[in-house]
Structure 1
Amino acid sequence: MFVRRCCQSLANSPLLRTLSSSFGLIVDIDGVLIRGARTIPGTVEGFKKLSDREGNLKHPVVFLTNGSYRSELAKAEELSEKLTVNIKEDQIVLVNTPLRTFTDWHDRSVFFAGQGSSLCSTAQDLGFKRPVVLADVLRDIPMFNVISHRKRLALNSGVLPEVLPDYLPIHGIVIANTPVDWEAHVQFLLDLLLTRGELRASNKGSQLPFIACNPDLVWASEYHLPRLACGAFVHMLAELYKEMSGRELEVTWCGKPTEVTYTYALNMLHQQAAVLGQKIDKVYGIGDNVDVDVLGANNNGLSSVLVCSGLYKNENIDFARNVTVRSKRASVTEPITADYATRTIGRFIDHLLG
């Protein structure tokens, strides 16, 4: 709520009403700017048109992604190189960036599920003082993970130690990104959920607080078919938890298309506009995922732009308005309308600049 008030107070201030008008862009990355290691054709040329001679963007732009495997600074450096313009750290919103505002969690012992050697340091950078990751648990309580017969035989005991690590009990769970070692993550997460973070005995009390970053079921890589994303992992875990507990998993989602993420991104966009001496008249949300980018833009007051260079493909679209498309998810039966559809982001930038 604090972020939203900042957005409104800044946008309505007398200072901004005297500034020059501009548009703002909230841009997805994978499938829009790059696909795998490849920059999508027309992207570099498009962003050069948005930049001055020194390579600085002349309009407010936030790059909003449901990825989180690198820091905001590292992602900015990567995009700067790929787009050949200057992208700053405060123009990047990763899927977990809004967790900086979850200050009630920062002093608690929180289990972070995901992958990457920097997962723990990333959590600390977000403000979490006591993050716990799977590597900690495998080191201290290896007997919990006995799906593999080989591991089972190698363990001396399947009994939980009398003295548990000092990071227990766990007070909350964050699914930071798509985990590897799914079987170990699923087993330990179920243990935490069923015992309310204590690991001793089943606890029928209220559910352990649970945040999941990235609702995406799939994403577009260089492979020709969609690949499973973090949302798929959470949905699988939810079904297992429901079967074992008889209760629905209560999930607080972070990332597109959630309100908290768009509120955070819009606040950053208006801060950029103030620095540039501009007032934003219209914000375009650009992405390739109907269920995430288009729905997120529509639900949060942005003009939605669907590009056909990633998950969504339609070679016949060059540029069109009010395009109605079907969700990729079988559970979503209502059509979704994008304000604009275009073959690539470069084509849309050409439209914006006339």
Structure 2
Amino acid sequence: MSGAGGPAFKDVDFSKSIQTPPDSPGKPKSKFTHKKTESWSKHFQNGNRRDGSWASVENKMAIPTSPGSHNTIEVPALRSPDADASQYMHNLSVSPSQKERRLSRNSFGAALPIPRSKRQSRLSSVTFPDVQEALRNASKESQRPGMPPIQPTREILVSQVQDVQSDKVKLAKNMAFVFDIDGVLVHGDRLIPEGKMVLDMLNGNNQLGIKIPHIFLTNGSGKPELARTEQLSKILQNPVNTEQFIQSHTPMRALAEYYNTVLVVGGEGYKCREVAEQYGFKDIIVPNDIVAWDESIAPYRVFTDEERASARPRDFSKVNIDAIMVFSDSRDYATDMQIIMDLLVSENGRLGTVAKDPVSQRIPIYFSQGDFLCPTEHPHPRMSQGAFRIGLEAMYKAHTGVDLERVVYGKPELATYKYADEVIASWMDVLHGEERIPENIYMIGDNPASDIVGGNMYGWNTCLVRTGVFQGGENDEENPANFGVFANVWEAVTAACRKQLGDDFKFKWDDRVNPVLHGNQSAIH
């Protein structure tokens, strides 16, 4: 259980060897403390070496530093530098243990900067024009000279019910839900019906008429947050605000303070370039720009006139690329892997060069998430960004003889959960004017290797649903959900609400309710 007043994380909680990057001069610490969990500490204490020792960190990835930065928090990566591809170089198993995969995700000692709360988004909230227009008209009609505006009947009833049931209101404000999206609320662009039911209830269609805090935490990526929330709002038939929404690459906006010229990889068309621009990156290159400059760099690519016309070529033999950002799934493995490999063995990120010591001169590479599988509209989960990364690691090791050091964001990485805490507290302020982290947080997910293991290690209550990746028995054997396994998201959320608010809590609002009778008359279960 996650307590707002719980102790903050300390280096010793994870490993005595971890060296947290020092705060930059003048950099205020985050206002929120984050909960230590015994399982997280224990999980990473021995690294993933057979002898229980951490691997050498002599050639670890350089930690980005920005003395003038005031808008980011640096979270140390808690992974050994051994690459996931190591097991493939000697044993070509197609299904390595999920446990081993997550134990070797990040370069030990690297830092994952995340944005500091409050989140200063350049993206506006999702609104429904017809509803907003109706509210404006109603407001005009209710204006009476010298008199207060007329309140809608429901608002009066809700206020009275909440006054009468203040104890339940307090409990409702002390819980929050964190939803994975794909496989929990939707399958691609197709609604899971229980997803709409849940959001209707959490957005006020309940006994108290109260909005119960909830955010969305997905390893999905590839679009600007506003475009994704608008899409989700239409599918779920409920408003989804950008300020309660975290994609796998959302925390990577913090990296704009550390790197100037970056290669951004993945996604459809140029949508990830648009994402990077909104995050504040100054000089953004995508693979199409490089192919337009020199088509021979990708010998198997058929480059169309339309792609050439939309690209931004220049002489990349004179450009130093500071870092590689894989924001989303690659749409062209051959081209993207070739260009990334060229940069990883280059001299300080300059194409057309080969470094004398590619390890020490290697530029950093960041991945927005590490999921191997992702639920889609296809009946079986499809390979995701993690598969691309493992393939790249195998290529790099075969080419250089050393493991590729890299940093991976997304679930189940600690930085993603710290950032989620910041967003939950900020969203609590928006809903209820209380900028704090509720004590009872429930993670609803379908992937045991990311949603559940991350939530468990962070001290959240975890609920595993059977509408996505997980199709197993009573619970996942390696990463069991600590609150339970449920048929769908509705069953998970209502079970959590009953635990926190009582078995008598009703999951639908009724305008016939009579506050004089303590809000119980005609309430519908």
Short-chain TM bin: 0.7 to 0.9
Partner of 2:262: 110
Distance in 1 (CA, whole Å) between partners of 2:278 and 2:327 is 13
C-alpha contact 2:223 2:272 (8 A) present in aligned 1: no
Partner of 2:94: none
Whichever residue aligns with residue 101 of structure 1, its letter is A
Q: 1:76 to 1:115 in 2, by over 3 A?
A: closer
TM-score by length of 2: 0.57
Aligned partner of 2:479 among 320, 336, 339? 336
- Cα RMSD over matched residues? 2.6
Larger Rg: 2
Distance in 2 (CA, whole Å) between partners of 1:303 and 1:97 is 23
Percent of paired sites with the same residue: 26
Aligned partner of 1:245 among 400, 420, 443? 400
Q: 1:290 to 1:132 in 2, by over 3 A?
A: same
Distance in 2 (CA, whole Å) between partners of 1:36 and 1:236 is 25
Partner of 2:388: 233
C-alpha contact 1:4 1:267 (8 A) present in aligned 2: no
Aligned partner of 1:187 among 333, 338, 348? 338
Distance in 2 (CA, whole Å) between partners of 1:93 and 1:127 is 17
Aligned partner of 1:38 among 187, 190, 203? 190
Distance in 1 (CA, whole Å) between partners of 2:221 and 2:196 is 23
Partner of 1:146: 299
Partner of 1:210: 365
Partner of 1:29: 181
Whichever residue aligns with residue 453 of structure 2, its letter is L
Distance in 2 (CA, whole Å) between partners of 1:128 and 1:223 is 35
Distance in 2 (CA, whole Å) between partners of 1:308 and 1:4 is 40
Task: Quote the offset at 1:3 in angstroms.
Answer: 10
C-alpha contact 2:375 2:469 (8 A) present in aligned 1: yes
Secondary structure of the 1:337 match is coil
- What are the equivalent positions in structure 2 for 1:1-354 lying under 5 Å apart? 5-8=30-33, 20-21=170-171, 22-52=174-204, 58-106=211-259, 108-116=260-268, 117-147=270-300, 164-165=315-316, 168-195=319-346, 196-203=348-355, 204=357, 205-275=360-430, 276-277=432-433, 280-314=438-472, 323=475, 325-326=476-477, 335-339=478-482, 340-354=484-498
Cα-to-partner distance string for 1:28-78 (whole Å, 9 max, x where unaligned)? 000000012221132212221212269x97122110111112221122222
Secondary structure of the 1:143 match is helix
Which one scores higher on RCO, CA 8 angstroms, separation ≥ 6?
Answer: 1
Distance in 1 (CA, whole Å) between partners of 2:221 and 2:479 is 27
Task: Quote the offset at 1:103 in angstroms.
Answer: 4.0
C-alpha contact 1:57 1:85 (8 A) present in aligned 2: no
Cα-to-partner distance string for 1:190-213 (whole Å, 9 max, x where unaligned)? 000011411233211332111011
Distance in 1 (CA, whole Å) between partners of 2:382 and 2:232 is 22
C-alpha contact 1:130 1:167 (8 A) present in aligned 2: no
TM-score by length of 1: 0.83
**Which of the two has greater strand per residue?**
1
Q: Which runs of 5+ in 2 are unaligned?
A: 1-22, 35-168, 304-313, 499-525
C-alpha contact 1:7 1:263 (8 A) present in aligned 2: no
Q: Which runs of 5+ in 1 are unaligned?
A: 10-18, 152-162, 318-322, 327-334
